[in-house]
Amino acid sequence: MNFEFFIARRIVASKDYKSSISAPIIKIAITAIALGVVIMMISIATGVGLQKKIREKVSAFHGDLIITNYDNNNSDDSQAPISMNQDFYPEFTSVAGIEYIQITASKGGVIRTATDFEGVVIKGVGADYNWKYFKEYLVEGRLPNFSSTLNDEVIISAFLANRLNFELGDKMNTFFLQENSQQRTRSRGFTIVGIYNSGFQEFDAQYVLADIRHIQRLNKWEKDEVGAFEVFVTNFDDITYIGNEVYQITPSELNVITIRDRYYTIFEWLDLFDFNIVLIIGIMILIAGINMITALMVLILERTQMIGILKAIGSSDWGVRKIFLYNAIYIICVGLFWGNLIGIGLLLLQKYGKLITLDPDTYYVTEAPIYLDAGYVIVLNVGTLLLCLIMLLIPSYIITKISPVKAIRFE
C-alpha cells in the first residue's frame, strides 16, 4: 500500500503531470465535482430549510396535534367546549415524544373602523401559551401578557395593521355574532400591543391573538372550558405515530388531528421537495462520476508505459489499479474542498444576508430559508467520495487487460 501511495504522490507532484494532456481533463473533473457539491448543498439547505420553516409557521398557529370535540366542524364559531380537567393536561406524560401542550379557543369576528371592516379569527390563548415562534415573528411592540388578570391586549399581523391603518396602542373594536340569531351582536374593544409578520399570509390575514377568557365569556363557557388543546412534538417526523398514540389514550368524545391532515395540500407540496432533492443529488453525483471516469481513462492512457513497467517489475494488477484510485481520491477531495468552501460560503451569505427573497403568496416565506447542519454536510461529502470511487472501480479494471510488453512499447 505504501508503495502504491508513494507512486501516486509522485505522479501528482510531477511537473509533466501538471502540464500533461490530462491536466485540462482533471481540472474539468475537479470543477464538475465542486459545482456538483455546491448544487447539492444548496438544494438540501434550501429544500429542508423551506420545509422546516413552513412547518414551524403552521405549528405556530395550530400546534402539531389538535385535540378537539368530535362535534367541531373546523368552524371557529361552532367549537364545542372541552373541559380542562383531563388526564393529559397540563402535563402530557403518557405518550413519549410530546414536548408541550397548551389550551386555545377561537371565535370569528369583524373588526370595524371608521372607514373599513375586516373579518378575522380571534384566537384566545392562556397563560400557558408558548410564544416561542411569535417572538421570532414580532416586528413591533411586545407580546401580550395573559398570566395575570383579564386584559384587552392583543397582537395582530402587519398585514391587518396595514390594511386597517392600525398602529401600536390603537383601540380595535371587534364585533361577534352569537350562535342564536335572536341575540344581539356583541362587541369587544382591544388594545394593540404588538404586531407580528409570519410571512404566511393565509394565517396573517386571519388571526388576532387575545386572552382566552374573552372567548370563554363570549361563548358563555365555564372557566375550565376551552375550545382545543394544541400539542407540540419533539420530532415532527414522528407526528403520525404520536398522533395515533394520543388518539388511543384520549376520551372517546375527543378527536385528534395532525396538522399534516388538516393542511394536507401544503404538506403534500412540501413532500415533493424530498423527491426533488434526491433527484438533484442523483444527477450531480452521476455527472461527477462520469467526469471522473473520463479523467481516469485519460490518466490510464497517458501512463500506459508506466503501467507496463510496474507490471514488468512484479506489481499486481490490483496494486497498479490502487495507484490510479489514489489519484482519483486526490482529485475528488480537491473538488470536495472547493465545493464545500464555495457552497457553505454562499449558504452563510444567504442565511445572514437574506439576499434572495421569495414571494410569500407562493412560498409562504419572504426569503429563501437556509438549513445548515454538520451531519448532512459530512454525509454528502462521504457519500459523494464513496459513490464516485465505486463508479471508478469498473473503468480501472481496464488496467488488468494491459500487457506489459505492449505497454512498454506504447507511444
Question: Do residue 170 and residue 119 come from a single domain?
Answer: yes
End position of a domain, from candidates 252, 279, 310: 252
Q: What are phi and psi of 93, to 5 degrees?
A: -105, -10
Measure the CA–CA gap between 298 and 292, rounded to whole angstroms.
10
Q: pLDDT tens string for the chain (411 positions)? A: 455 555 555 555 454 445 455 678 788 888 889 999 999 999 999 999 988 888 888 888 889 999 998 865 555 555 688 999 988 888 888 889 999 999 999 998 899 888 888 889 999 999 889 898 888 899 999 999 888 888 899 999 999 999 999 999 999 999 887 665 555 678 888 999 999 998 888 889 899 999 999 999 888 898 889 999 999 999 998 999 999 999 998 888 899 999 999 888 888 888 888 888 889 888 888 888 888 888 877 777 777 777 677 767 777 777 777 777 888 888 889 999 999 999 999 999 999 988 888 887 777 788 888 999 998 999 999 999 998 888 888 777 776 666 665 656 555
Measure the CA–CA gap between 155 and 324, rounded to whole angstroms.
65
pLDDT at 337: 94
Question: Do residue 312 and residue 212 come from a single domain?
Answer: no
Range of the domain at 303: 2-56+267-409
Question: Do residue 394 and residue 285 come from a single domain?
Answer: yes
β pairing state of 98-112 and 117-125: antiparallel
Measure the CA–CA gap between 407 and 21, rounded to whole angstroms.
18
Question: Do residue 389 and residue 306 come from a single domain?
Answer: yes
Question: Do residue 238 and residue 119 come from a single domain?
Answer: yes
The answer to whether residue 259 is domain-embedded is no
Measure the CA–CA gap between 240 and 349, rounded to whole angstroms.
35
pLDDT at 340: 95
pLDDT at 186: 82
Q: CB of 92 within 8 A of CB of 184?
A: no
pLDDT at 241: 92
Cβ contacts of 173 within 8 Å, gap of 6 or more: 111, 112, 113, 187, 188, 189
Question: Do residue 283 and residue 379 come from a single domain?
Answer: yes
Question: Do residue 77 and residue 226 come from a single domain?
Answer: yes
The answer to whether residue 348 is domain-embedded is yes
| Total residues found in the chain within this entry | 411
The answer to whether residue 63 is domain-embedded is no
Question: Do residue 98 and residue 204 come from a single domain?
Answer: yes
Measure the CA–CA gap between 255 and 253, rounded to whole angstroms.
7
Q: What is the DSSP string of 360-384?
A: HHHHSSSB------HHHHHHHHHHH
pLDDT at 45: 92
Question: Do residue 336 and residue 275 come from a single domain?
Answer: yes
Question: Do residue 221 and residue 337 come from a single domain?
Answer: no
Number of domains into which the chain is organized: 2
pLDDT at 7: 52
* CB hemisphere CA count around 169 (13 angstroms): 0
Question: Do residue 43 and residue 80 come from a single domain?
Answer: no
pLDDT at 37: 92
pLDDT at 19: 47
The answer to whether residue 261 is domain-embedded is no
